[in-house]
Amino acid sequence: MEAATEHHFYHHGVESEVPHPEREACHFCQLRSFATHDAFPVTIVNETDDGAVLPPNFRFIDRSLLGPGVSPAQKEFRTGCECSDPESCMYSACVCLDEVEDPDDEDHDPELDEEDQESLRWAELHMRKPSWARSRASRDGSRDTPGSGSANEHGHATNGPLAVTRGKKRFAYHSQGAKKELLRSSYLNSRAPIYECHDACSCLQVQCPNRVVERGRKVPLQIFRTADNRGWGVRTMRELKRGQFVDCYLGEVIRPEEAERRRHNSSKAQRKDVYLFGLDKFTDPDSRDQRLVGAPLEVDGEFMSGPTRFINHSCDPNLRIFARVGDHADKHIHDLALFAIHDIAKGEELTFDYVDGQGEIESNARDEKLQEEMTRCLCGSKKCRGFLW
């Protein structure tokens, strides 16, 4: 590890001294090429005496790549909101939130009250202004005029300026104050998907409060060699707040048949499932979108990914993965976004639950015959289930 680090810093700064292929294969150069490198760098260290380096056939990427047979929605099916400014996008019935469901009463977060009251005051002041919300066709073909709004069978506003006060069009994030850009408790305590504005929307990326994941990682990370035989791990180099976005799990997005082929070709020791994540949040046999009917696409981060590829499993994690959707036509290739589920200290290792607390694991672990085929968990937490799968 030390030799590789020295070679990079002494030779890769001058282009003429090093062949281009060598620089392309250098993990330090790959990380340095990220747009976020200067402000939020990713570093690699090995302070153990095992001499290990990252796999030479691994490549760092800053966005997922679509494999053969995988494509985004065609341009004519892509849609976005026409919110004219952050306030209208925040308080009007933003179409990016059309599929957001009302939070359960028992999941109501008292922390929302002050902000929602501010939303109500803003709506009451602006509801008669024609710039409040754009005219648009509703699902039944009728049209809503700016500032009018409508209600569902429960009398709750479903669009127009008062929609946000009924919990129907609320962003997943706090939009002001000390908690700005933090995921709301009602989301952290659930597995609900996050719907964001995106590049097809009229709102500005730098200002819209609903583009947290799209704006990318804002956390410096360090990939380090663990001292307890768990391989590589990742720690944060800055304090993280509960609800803060960390990064996305990246990789090559592949078809289910290709994922099965790769599973079959990998050895048991490799356990390909460690790196494969199914994009199954919206899988539905009754969906009108045929891309969501069958087996889902999967993200393979074994040989190309971001720093999150090296985050270890824990049965008592400090991160959780959420499905993040930009354009609704691209649900089949939604993002896998990692958020802090409680405050995390600077230098603390980041972890998430690879199987998201599946009860089947604990049940199988009680069967001695099944244990022979299962992978033991090394997380060491007090809540350890004993096995990964």
Give the strand order in the sheet containing 252-254.
Answer: 65-66, 252-254, 298-300, 276-278
Known catalytic membership, residue 91 = no
Bridge partner residues of 235 (DSSP) = 222, 349
Catalytic residue among 187, 195, 249, 275: 249
- What is the chain's alpha carbon radius of gyration, rounded to the nearest angstrom? 23
Q: For tokens 């720690």, what's the residue?
A: 235
**Which residues does 138 contact at the CB level (< 8 Å), separation at least 6?**
144, 150, 159
DSSP of 299-361 = EE-SSEE-GGGGPEE-SS-SEEEEEEESSGGGGGG-EEEEEESS-B-TTPBPEE-TTTT-HHH
Catalytic residue among 173, 195, 275, 354: 354
The token duo for 61 is 């990427």
Bridge partner residues of 42 (DSSP) = 221
Known catalytic membership, residue 10 = no
What amino acid is encoded at 298 in this protein?
E
Query: Is-contact 277 250, C-beta < 8 A?
Result: no
Q: For tokens 């663990």, what's the residue?
A: 226
Give the CA distances from residue 197 to residues 76, 210, 294, 326, in Å, rounded to whole numbers and listed in that order.
18, 6, 27, 6
- What whole-number distance in Å separates Cα of residue 335 and Cα of residue 214? 10
- What whole-number distance in Å separates Cα of residue 253 and Cα of residue 290? 17
Q: For tokens 């690699």, what's the residue?
A: 44
Strands 298-300 and 276-278: antiparallel
Active-site residue numbers?
249, 354
